[in-house]
Amino acid sequence: MTTLATLQDILVRDYQVPREQLTPDAALTTLGIDSLGFLELMFKIEDEFQVKIPGDPPTDLTTVHDVVGYIDGLIAGRTAHAAAPKLRAHP
Amino acid sequence: MSGRRVAVTGLGVVTPLGNCISDVFDALEAGRSAVRRLPPALARQLRAPIAATVQFDGAAHFPGAHLRQLDRVSQMALVAAAQAVTDAGIDFASERRERCGVFVGSSLGGVESTDEGYRVLYAPEQGRVKPYTVITAMTSAPAAWIGIEYSLTGPNLTFSTACSSSAVALGEAARRIGGGEADVMLAGGTEAPLSAGVLAAWDAMRTLATEDPIDASASCRPFASTRSGLVLAEGAAFVVLEDWQHALRRGAPIHAELAGYGLTSDVAHITRPTVEGQAAAMRAALDSAQLAPEDVDYINAHGTATLQNDAVETAAIKQVLGARAYAIPVSSTKSMHGHLLGAAGALEFAIAVVALERGLVPPTMHLNSPDPACDLDYVAEGARRGARLRAVMSNSFAFGGTNAALIARSADR
């Protein structure tokens, strides 16, 4: 399955976005994914694609196409983001 | 109330007895209890695995993107508030929105979200806390969402005074209208406490009712000698309150007048109620409505079915009303819908308003064994029809000692 197809599945299943709206150039905000929803999506991407987002999630992904490209970068281990220690939510 | 008269023009409810006010009242009239056995996942560790749950699926009301932003406590609040707005027939687009506000009572806020966060965090297989947890769990979320939904830019407050929270919200909202600071207020309460953690905490406190061995639905027995505690419930109830002249000008249906509000504090003990504190709240409500004890025709009691409350409340009613206390019906509808905690006051005020409109006094169910300390007319035999009610009182008391009493007066007087 392609990255796009898997991402589409996540957005249909967990965000109840109609599949026909999930074109590559669809903006995340128009799909009802706000800043917190985006953070949640990053968690799901880590789980579904078995990848690790280094440091803070990127802030420059605005479309489905952007996210697909980012995931492919992670999979290929080609992420441009520098690794940073992950903060834990408990002591 | 001092100042402008306050009209109740809209009612909306999401409750264990039904998700519209007429269904709720039909159930009350029939004496039908919504108290049930909890599903096994919630029942574990509980001595009495019972509660009054609401048949409610947020997914039927909100699209997925919005649903993730809403705890159950906000979902039920938004739906109940929408009903109240529809019932009032008010179009906020033609209102001065800065003169319209939202007051909500909630004791515990977004319990499901908090519980889920802890579960994920402390589970052996540690997961991740959802990014939405803060905004779904915060106690002010329901009021904020309702304000956003209708673009009401006036005062937006959340009151958290345990079991009197939403009675306080209604009373304070009425004061804002009476004092001329607001023209329309959406006021109510919401509570969604039925998570494993909250149930276990209440169970540990030994204030919950034991399960009736024959009929679980009969476990909540206010004023009975066999009462054993309260039954937890969930739900939301909202009213539209409006300046009387404002309501008349737009030809709104007026259910009743919110005529009186009394607010006092026990300052005695964190859980144990006082006769003096409860009586003072009722007296203050009568004073603010400019009514005498003889003018009150029905009391919807706090009536939690705890040993302490019911005896203290009975004594307080007698102290305030004197001989009149024995002449009027006093009932606890918690015997059927359970204790909605922070939402209880708003729901019971709405019930009192419909009682007033329909001339129908709802009963106290499961009161087969009278307690000598509780010797008023609790309407134990079933709903009483054809009652001529001019003014009714709704009592809400609380752990922490914040006592509130509300009075509704017939719109036809």
Query: What is the predicted ipTM?
Result: 0.75
Q: Which of B249, B280, B299 is the last residue of a domain?
A: B249
Q: Please, what are the domains in chain A?
A: 3-75 (1.10.1200.10)
Let me know whether B384 and B325 are in one domain.
yes
Number of domains in chain B: 2
Is B163 labeled as catalytic in the residue annotation? yes
Let me know whether B197 and B292 are in one domain.
no
3-state secondary structure of B23: helix
Band (B124; pLDDT cuts 50, 70, 90): confident
The size of the A-B interface in CB pairs under 8 A is 36
- DSSP track, A15-74: H---GGG--TT-BTGGGT--HHHHHHHHHHHHHHHT----SSPPS---BHHHHHHHHHHH
**Cβ distance of A43 and B68 shorter than 8 Å:** no
Q: Would the pLDDT of B293 be above 50?
A: yes
**Closest Cβ–Cβ partner in A16, A17, A36 for B131:** A36
What is the tens place of the pLDDT at every residue in B322-340?
A: 999 999 999 999 999 999 9
- DSSP track, B57-107: -GGGTS-HHHHTT--HHHHHHHHHHHHHHHHHT--GGGS-GGGEEEEEE-S
- Sequence-distant (6+) residues with CB within 8 A of B272 are B308
What is the tens place of the pLDDT at every residue in B84-119?
A: 999 999 999 999 999 999 999 999 999 999 999 999
User: Which of B68, B138, B145, B148 has the highest number of chain A CBs within 10 A, making it the mutation to test binding with A?
Assistant: B68
pTM score > 0.90 for this model?
yes
d(CA B245, CA A7): 56
Question: Furthest-apart CA pair in chain B: how many Å?
Answer: 64
- Say if residues B54 and B16 touch (Cβ distance below 8 Å): yes
In a domain, B42, yes or no: yes
- DSSP track, B121-163: HHSSS-----TTHHHHH-TTHHHHHHHHHHT--S-EEEE--GG
- Say if residues B337 and B54 touch (Cβ distance below 8 Å): no
Rg over CA atoms, chain A: 13
Q: Would the pLDDT of B169 be above 70?
A: yes
Q: What is the pLDDT of residue B65?
A: 87
Q: Would the pLDDT of B143 be above 90?
A: yes
Let me know whether B226 and B289 are in one domain.
no
B329 CB burial (10 A radius; 0-12, 13-18, 19+): buried
Q: What does the DSSP 8-state code read for residue B230?
A: B
Q: Does A15 touch chain B (CB under 8 A)?
A: yes
Q: What is the mean pLDDT of residues B341-364?
A: 98
Q: What is the pLDDT of residue B44?
A: 78
Let me know whether B351 and B219 are in one domain.
no
Identify the CA nearest to B338 among candidates B43, B23, B24, B12: B24
Q: Would the pLDDT of B372 be above 70?
A: yes
Q: Does A22 touch chain B (CB under 8 A)?
A: no
Shortest CA distance from B130: residue in chain A: A40
Identity of the amino acid at B272: R
Let me know whether B191 and B289 are in one domain.
no
Q: What is the mean pLDDT of residues B267-283?
A: 96
Let me know whether B66 and B139 are in one domain.
yes
Which of A 28-87 lie inside 8 A of B, CB atoms? 31-34, 36-37, 39-40, 43
Which residues in chain A have Cβ-Cβ distances shorter than 8 Å to B68? Answer: 15, 37, 40
- Say if residues B148 and B62 touch (Cβ distance below 8 Å): no
- Say if residues B263 and B168 touch (Cβ distance below 8 Å): yes
Shortest alpha-carbon distance between residue A1 and chain B (Å): 25
Q: Does B118 touch chain A (CB under 8 A)?
A: no
Q: Which of B206, B229, B249 is the last residue of a domain?
A: B249
Percentage, residues of chain B above pLDDT 90 = 95
Q: What does the DSSP 8-state code read for residue B304?
A: -
Q: Does B124 touch chain A (CB under 8 A)?
A: no
Taking only the tens of pLDDT, chain A with its 91 residues reads: 899 999 999 999 988 899 999 999 999 999 999 999 999 999 999 999 999 998 888 989 999 999 999 999 999 985 554 444 444 444 4
Shortest CA distance from A28: residue in chain B: B65
Let me know whether B193 and B136 are in one domain.
yes
Q: Would the pLDDT of B125 be above 90?
A: no
In a domain, B405, yes or no: yes
Band (B127; pLDDT cuts 50, 70, 90): confident
In a domain, B404, yes or no: yes
In a domain, B254, yes or no: no
Is B339 labeled as catalytic in the residue annotation? yes
Which residues in chain A have Cβ-Cβ distances shorter than 8 Å to B63? Answer: 16, 32
Band (B231; pLDDT cuts 50, 70, 90): very high
In a domain, B1, yes or no: no
d(CA B176, CA B213): 48
Q: Would the pLDDT of B14 be above 60?
A: yes
Band (B413; pLDDT cuts 50, 70, 90): low
User: Which of A11, A13, A16 has the highest number of chain B CBs within 10 A, making it the mutation to test binding with B?
Assistant: A16
Let me know whether B267 and B206 are in one domain.
no
Is B374 labeled as catalytic in the residue annotation? no
Let me know whether B199 and B271 are in one domain.
no
- Expressed as residue numbers, the domain containing B72 is 6-249
Which residues in chain A have Cβ-Cβ distances shorter than 8 Å to B65? Answer: 15-17, 31-34, 37
Q: Please list, residue by residue across B281-320, b when 16 or more beta carbons sit within 10 angstroms of its beta carbon and e when fewer do.
A: bbbbbbebbebebebbbbbbbbbbbbeebbbbbbbbbbbb
Q: What does the DSSP 8-state code read for residue B199?
A: H
- Say if residues B229 and B50 touch (Cβ distance below 8 Å): no
Let me know whether B148 and B66 are in one domain.
yes
d(CA B79, CA B236): 8
Distances (CA, A) of B8 to B71, B97, B231, B246, B408: 28, 18, 29, 12, 9
In a domain, B145, yes or no: yes
Q: Which of B226, B249, B272 is the last residue of a domain?
A: B249
Shortest CA distance from A13: residue in chain B: B64
**Cβ distance of A17 and B65 shorter than 8 Å:** yes
CATH of the domain at B158: 3.40.47.10
- Helix H, strand E, coil C: the string for B344-386 is HHHHHHHHHHHHHHHCCECCCCCCCCECCCCCCECCCCCCECC
Distances (CA, A) of B215 to A80, B33, B184, B370: 65, 10, 44, 19
Q: What is the mean pLDDT of residues B290-307?
A: 98
- Sequence-distant (6+) residues with CB within 8 A of B12 are B21, B79, B80, B81, B82, B83, B84, B85, B86, B87, B188, B237, B238, B239
Percentage, residues of chain B above pLDDT 70 = 100
Q: What's the N-to-C CA distance of chain A in angstroms? A: 39
Let me know whether B200 and B284 are in one domain.
no
Let me know whether B201 and B308 are in one domain.
no
